[in-house]
Chain A
Amino acid sequence: MTVGLGPLPGLQTQEGHLKRGTVESGRPLAGAARRRVADTRVRSKELQRERSTLDITGILFFVLAIGVVGAGLAVVTLRNVIHSAIAMMVCFGSLAGMYALLGAPIVAAAQVLIYLGAISVLIIFAIMLTQAGDASLAAPFHRQVPFAALAALIVVGLIGWAVIQTDWGAAAQAVAVNLEQLAIALFTDYALPFEIISLLLLAAIIGAIFLARRPEEDERAG
């Protein structure tokens, strides 16, 4: 399995075991798609040589990209909150496909498990349990739409400009990491951040229980 990340800090010593630059190592699909994301839009000679494989991944990429962007727009524009939640699931799913396309199946699997599997279901349950009456509401931020759209366009333009102008160099190369190495890194080098996250979860659980408890029970407890 491969993970499409740059060299993880904890894994740098093991670089000898890592396959670098998947374009050169017989996996042109991942490398080509990566370039599409970097979106240099420069048709270099090298890319033209890979044209035959690019077509399939290119088409897949655009289908998934339309899924991500279109569903993302639907999430914020649809008036019915259940429709928004379902559009969000489409968005998450397309994103998982994109990770897989980039040669990062572990991240794709995590995306499916956590976002599609857990978070989406949780959100739909939360809507079912809390929604009273008609779900369709008028958009409350109506008057700010032109300004928000303008600001969003400016940010998109700036980020797009920065992506095109930057020479990504080594950062754009996919590094293959297998699941075992990832697990070892997580429980050795990354042990401390991992433990701090467990504290964060404990704090979140206590906080959630406190918020969900009825005030009468608070008085009994306090």
Chain B
Amino acid sequence: MNYLNDLFTLLPEIVLVVLVLVVITADLFLPRADKWMLTPLTVFGLILAGIACVLVWGVNDTVFSGFYRVDDLSVFLKMVTVGVGILSALFVPSYLRIRRLPLGEFNAMLLFSLIGMCVLCSSSDLITLFVGLELMVMPGYLLTGFAKTDRYSNEGGLKYFLLGSFASAILLFGVSWTYGVTGTTRIDAIGQALSGSSLNPAMLVAVAMLMVGATFKVAAVPFHYWTPDAYQGAPTPITGYLSVGPKLGAFALLIRVFAEALGPVRADWLVVMAILAVLTMTGGNIVALVQTNVKRMLAYSAIAHSGYILAGLAAFAAAGSVAVQRESIESILFYLAGYALMNIAAFSVVGMLQRDTSRFGGLRSFAGLGARSPGRAAAMAILLLSLTGIPPTVGFFAKWYVLLATVDAGLAWLAVLIVLNAALAAFYYLRVIVYMYMREPEDDPAPIDASAFGTVALALSVIGVILLGVYPGAILDVLRASAGSLF
């Protein structure tokens, strides 16, 4: 075995591990007035990790005795992970500073979680997969309860922790059943063991448990009950990270487990996945309609977006040809990248309106924002239009891609439901825009947090949302190579 070669393929992860150690150490020695320097340090390290991702692009190798697979799919997801990390590292600091919460611990937890996501994306063995999952979600529990003296943050953190651990245990139980039936934890070997025969009862139990555990992590209905409280309790820009980062990792898990290991028996889980997709998008949207708190509304809308991506996975299962399968995986990847950009930024705008710590992101905070802060209002409007799926934003193209995949896979009814849901969602997204531009400000308007880091990150997100919407071809080749490495 060539250990040096193996280590080289781990370059992005190694950069991140070194970065987290540097951040912890620097946090120890930096005087309080200079703590803000942790943010540029983290962002610089993340940029290095991004460059490392570019270096390992095209390697397509299974390393470390088959436990780790560095293919283009994983490298693409790692690039998105690094992007999510950069945006989070920029959005969060000023929110924490106002509430006198420590920046060092936040950066460390964020980086640990990102490493977990990278491991999850590259898992070619269920053991690596589970360890990566835990490394991703465990810092997430802590970040949810990061505001230790805030009752809602405590409640959200505790709920997320208890239910999340329970779901992880169910997933692990499913893994052990899979091992019992197939005699292996290697993902490709499971696929081989299952191909050519129908599922036996024990494997059905295993698939059910894997499905419950994995869809819990993407907050699919009916396993979503933790989501609104965890998302509302967490510090707002951290909610942005939680709604994007762990979800990205969980979809990587779903692709690895369901598209790769359980791919040969996809006819058996197609119906369940399609039903989950419909329940998730409809359930999330209907409850989001009646929310008057924008933070909670975005939490439910995040559930709905999981449903659209699950529809892509259902399209994979229903696809009759490899070409359509590839198309559906591409649509999932594109949706994940676009969703990451727009959702994290939308939450952060809510956070910017919480400079006054007694505000919770109510709809009325947004009244008259168009006049008070034209730049932020315009950014929020673009993000909301993108979340709705209106051209020329990335949200439109992402939905269109998923629609195309579902129609090509022969699931026209699912495509119709996606369109109906998008129309339903338009109501609550556009309501915020109406408040921003057509309502008078409150008597005591919410003070706006205008930190430089946050503004830069917001500008970056909006530029990304528009660029990818106008010219999605920019990453289509990358997407094709990524999805292609799975087959």
Question: Which A residues are within 8 Å of any B CB, using their own CB?
Answer: 6-7, 9-10, 158-159, 161-163, 165-168, 170-171, 188-193, 196-197, 199-200, 202-204, 206-207, 210-211, 215, 218-222
Contacts and interface: CB of A to CB of B under 8 A. Distances in A.
B180 A171 contact: yes
A170 B193 CA distance: 13
Contact of A221 (B96, B102, B127, B141): B102
Contacts of A200: 116, 131, 134-135, 138
Contact of B138 (A168, A207, A210): A207
Contact of B202 (A168, A190, A207, A215): A168
Given A192-B67, A196-B132, A207 B180 contact: no
Interface stretch (B105-113, B396-404, B463-471): B105-113
B121 to A, nearest CB: 13
A contact face: mostly helix, strand, loop, or mixed: helix
Nearest to B97: A222
B464 to A, nearest CB: 29
B108 A206 contact: yes
B contact face: mostly helix, strand, loop, or mixed: helix
A196 B148 contact: no
B160 to A, nearest CB: 13
Interface centre among A162, A188, A190, A211 (most CB of B within 10 A): A162
Contacts of A162: 201-202, 204-205
Nearest to A167: B200
Contacts, number: 113
B17 interface: yes
Closest 6 interchain pairs by CB? Answer: A222-B102, A166-B202, A162-B201, A203-B112, A189-B65, A192-B64
B131 A211 contact: no
A97 to B, nearest CB: 20
A159 B108 contact: no
A166 B104 contact: no
A199 B132 CA distance: 10
Nearest to A197: B131
Contacts of B149: 215
Contacts of A171: 179-183
B374 interface: no
A220 B27 CA distance: 12
B430 to A, nearest CB: 39
B408 interface: no
A202 to B, nearest CB: 8
Contacts of A197: 131
B101 A193 contact: no
Given A165-B201, A196-B132, A203-B135, 8 more contacts: A9-B66, A9-B184, A10-B65, A192-B64, A193-B131, A196-B119, A203-B139, A222-B102
